[in-house]
């Protein structure tokens, strides 16, 4: 509970998502919370799944990799919701930025992603528009990390 201001209820999480996610859409939840009953409010509206649901497919993997696998799966969704000040969320957004450039997803030219942060007031649209780096630098990924980076390095005379 490092950032208590980021703790929001499951009802607030649902309110953050309901205008963007379609009812009954598949939602992958990357979490280390063992209490899956907490997510029942979301289950009423979406087809939710967790990494645990794929235990048979990943049983041969080192469990130390599960957090990374969660991050990669979460980064591949059409839409992403994460928690502000979360390093998992930040890196998932950086991966989403790389994929947006590679796959020329809508808005890639402007550094836009379909990524949101849960917020007590609904949702934070931080990643839906290009923005310059600002403090705290560690808590977000910025479009300059993936946008327009493949030009090579000029030779030094």
CATH code for the domain of 47: 3.40.50
Query: What does the block give as tokens for 146?
Result: 């993936």
Q: Decide if 157 is inside a domain.
A: no
What local confidence, expressed as pLDDT, does residue 123 receive? 52
Give how many domains the chain has, as a whole number.
1
Domain housing 71: 4-145
Residue 119: the pLDDT is 66
Closest CA to 77 of 24, 39, 30, 37: 30
pLDDT tens for 22-76 read 999 999 999 988 899 999 999 999 999 999 999 999 999 999 999 999 999 999 9
What is the pTM for the complete model shown?
0.81
Q: Is residue 68 part of a domain?
A: yes
CA 18: distance to chain centroid?
16
pLDDT tens across 85-111, in order? 788 888 899 999 999 999 999 888 888
Q: What per-residue confidence (pLDDT) applies to 138?
A: 63
Question: Within a domain: residue 140?
Answer: yes
In a domain, residue 152? The reply is no
Is there a domain that residue 154 lies in? no
Q: Is residue 150 part of a domain?
A: no
First to last CA, the chain: 51
Asked if residue 139 is part of any domain, the answer here is: yes
**155 lies in some domain:** no
């Amino acid at each position: 509970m490092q950032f208590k201001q980021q703790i929001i209820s499951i009802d607030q999480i649902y309110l953050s998502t309901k205008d963007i996610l379609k009812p009954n859409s598949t939602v992958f939840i990357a979490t280390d919370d063992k209490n899956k009953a907490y997510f029942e409010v979301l289950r009423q509206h979406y087809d939710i799944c967790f990494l645990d649901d794929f235990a048979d497919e990943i049983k041969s993997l080192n469990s130390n990799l599960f957090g990374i696998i969660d991050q990669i799966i979460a980064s591949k969704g059409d839409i992403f919701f994460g928690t502000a000040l979360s390093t998992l969320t930040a890196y998932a957004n950086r991966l989403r930025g790389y994929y947006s450039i590679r796959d020329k997803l809508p808005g890639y030219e402007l550094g836009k992603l379909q990524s949101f942060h849960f917020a007590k007031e609904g949702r934070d649209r931080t990643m839906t528009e290009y923005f310059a780096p600002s403090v705290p630098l560690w808590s977000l990924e910025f479009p300059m990390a993936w946008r327009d980076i493949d030009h090579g390095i000029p030779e030094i005379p």
